[in-house]
Amino acid sequence: MLQRVRKIKNHELNQLLELYKQLNPDDPELIIDNELKKIWHEIMEDPNHYCLVIE
């Protein structure tokens, strides 16, 4: 089975949070509000941060 690694896309925040929820069910649920969108944008625009996904 071939898997592909790629940088996460901007619109995949919701899927990422769903994965975190599955992996950490005791953590509080994060709601995508303006503050979280701002933080996500900063992460995505920071050349020193990479969020990778495996397909």
* Side chain identity, residue 18: E
Sign of CA dihedral 36, 52, 45, 11: negative
Residue 24 in tokens: 């950490």
- For position 3, what pLDDT does the model report? 93
pTM over 0.85: no
Task: Quote the Cα angle for 31-27-47, to 5°.
Answer: 65
Residue 29 contacts by C-beta under 8 Å, 6 or more apart in sequence? 21
Q: What is the pLDDT of residues 10-39, one digit of tens each?
A: 999 999 999 999 999 999 989 999 999 999
More confident residue, 7 or 1: 7
